[in-house]
Structures are given as C-alpha cells and as structure tokens.
Amino acid sequence: MSMKRIIRRLGYLRAFARECFVSESRNNSSSLASACRRRLYRTPCEVDTGVFITNIDNFSSGAESCLYHACYILNHHGRFTMGRRSHMGAFCYVNVCYGTVSIGDDVAIGPGTKVIAHSNHYLPGRKVTEERITADVVIGNNIFIGANCVILPGTVIRDNVVVGAGSIVKGELESNTIYAGAPCRKIKSGWYE
C-alpha cells in the first residue's frame, strides 16, 4: 500500500474518531460536554446540545456567539461565518453546501429560521431535481430576525434591520428599517437613526 493511501486512511480514521466523540458529547448538557464541543469544533462559540456542523474547516464564529439546541449547519463545500455576540436560536437550519453565508456582529436569529445559500431551482423546460442555484447570503451587524423566517439565496441584509417572525426574505434589505411578511416588505424606515 502506498504512503499516500496510508495517510488518507489515517485521516479518515481520525475524522471517524472525532465524530464518535462529538456524537457522544452532542446531547450531553453538562458544562464539560459543552467545553468539549467548543474544542472539537475549534471555536469560541457556545455550541449547545444537538448542534451539527458538517464541515468544521468551513465554519468560523466570533467570541460570545452561540448556536442553540439542534442548529444544523450544512456546509460540506460552502463557508459559514458568524460574528461576535451573535446567535442562532434552536432548530435553525443553514444550507450553505456551496457558496457563503456571512453573519455579522450582534445578530439575533430566532428559532426555526432557515438560511439558504444553495437550493434546487426552477427553470422552464428543465427538471427541478437537476437545477441548482447558489448565491451568497450576507447578514450585516445589529440585526434581529424573528422566529421561523426563511432567508433565500442571494439575500443581503444591511445593518440595523429588524425582520418580523415568519417572513420570507429575498433581495436586499436597507439599513435602519423594519421588514415583515411573506414576501417580506418594508414596514418602517429610520427606526435606528
């Protein structure tokens, strides 16, 4: 067996051992298990129980940030970043299998919210199972996104924005504005100035 194959197999074995350890600590709510999850995910972020990050090499977060219970970051090939003092509520889902999701500082994302940078796509005359769209999602600083929102591919949310619960967001949201609805619409401007 070549040295290259041996090294590759050792890498697989290391990844398998790490995943076994992570799965043992994933649902343990003790402070020791919490510290182990932070260490295994190589992050200063608080990683709550049931959190799953598919590729820790494509994940980064700032100090005092948090992923609450059962957040799922699907980032096989894509990049997920979250700034300081930001958090994602319980049961949030991020599909950044390809592309980038960038979340700034002081962002509060409510439980059950979905952030999607990579998805199936519809084109007339084509099968939806064969079409994909990948478009980066950028969420600025000092933003509140209510529970059960859907942030679609290509969305840019500028600084100092509030998005009401249950909103479906696509496109660019202006700074210092409150939005809500499905589809999301401007409710009030200049709220933060």
Residues tagged active-site? 118
Residues whose CB is less than 8 angstroms from the CB of residue 19 and which lie 6 or more positions away in sequence, other chains included: none
Give the other-Cβ count within 10 Å of 43's Cβ.
20
